[in-house]
Structure 1
Amino acid sequence: MPKFDLVIFDCDGVLLDSEIIACRADAEAYTCLGYEITTEEISRRFAGMPDEAVDAALAAELGAPLPAHFRTEIKKSVIEKYRSDLQPINGAKSLLSSLKTAYCIASSASPAKLALGLIETEMFELVYPNIFSTKLVDKGKPHPDIFLYAAKKMGALPSRCIVIEDSVAGVTAAKSAGMTCIGFTGGSHCVEGHSHRLIEVGADTVVDHLGAIKLLVE
């Protein structure tokens, strides 16, 4: 009997080295508004969470409504960087190509952003059509909705799923869904102490390279 029936990958920071791009864009945009925040703090506090949650939290701290089209401008910046700078996480393509266990993506990113990132890194065909965005559910990470949705769509019981996540919000969501979770710290955005934070919120183990994943899931 296989160890698991389904491997669920987060996308940004697990398959795509994209969290650093998004976090840097957020930090630069908020700093321009007069709210000085670093890329590292954005990553630590908000990695894995929907944009709406980031904006709600930081607008409250800023004490003022965000300008019209604020998030739209950030998204434009991120798209430009995706097209010029985005890289897959080392080993992502070979891992997806070699897995015998069923797998899918469950991500906080929008469907359009997911498609763009996966196309730019030549991984779209390796995962399509099993790509699920939190836009499909009521609540994003750290709530479990997207993982439960993905498991149902893929015909797997939560107890037979293993999630690969790089964020505190994602690990929290996976464990709330009743799934095994591997924390991943191989992305460029991960800073010292990140492994400890993932363990604190329930990651069953933590790895810093995708080459270790296959042995753990199959």
Structure 2
Amino acid sequence: MARFGIISAMPVELEWFIKEYNAKELNINGFYKVYEGKEGSNEIFMACSGIGKVNAAVCTQKLVDAFNVDYIVNMGIAGGISKKLRTLDVVIGSEVIYHDFNPDSLLEKYFPNTRVFKCDERLIKTAEKVCKESAVVDNYYVGCIASGDCFVEKSETKEYIESLGGICCEMEGAAIGHTAHINNVPFLIIRTISDLADENASISYEEFERRAAEQSNRIVSGILKGLS
């Protein structure tokens, strides 16, 4: 038996998952929203963190402290940075970085002595298998996901993130990976593209938000079934 902590930033990014697992909402101090469900013999704790890096880090630590989770999976939506990405493509994180932290990286000089947080290989391989076999996933990529406390819709910001190696961007993954790394908990960040992080981002985001969120939910459900 294993305990999985599943994190999404917004309620819409968790809706399908809660219904699929008939999850029960828990009333635990310090959580914005947290639910409990099961997949086979595995326990699932689904948490909505709220948007941004601080909310995400606090939520991750709460999952570790309150439930002693064995794995952390962050699912949701993202803006596409790489030119090969299209809306509803899936990105499985190989690693996560910050795009709004000092590029000379004080994180490397001081604790935790790294600016790159590696996703768990077993979870990556399981996610790839799910995506390959899924009827709803047209394209998926494994690559670096970049996080920062801003909604990216300017070409110069997009170009900067690409120069750091990020193929998509969002607002929580690196903080979740950072916290999981400190706690020695294997983690995975998986995102579906809702917009292309450009001047039209706000328009396409509204159109694809719910579809992209549900697709990420279905993939993570497949991962849990694969690990049961």
Asked if TM exceeds 0.5, the reply is no
TM, length-normalised to structure 2: 0.33
Q: Which has the higher strand share?
A: 2
Higher helix share: 1
TM-score by length of 1: 0.35
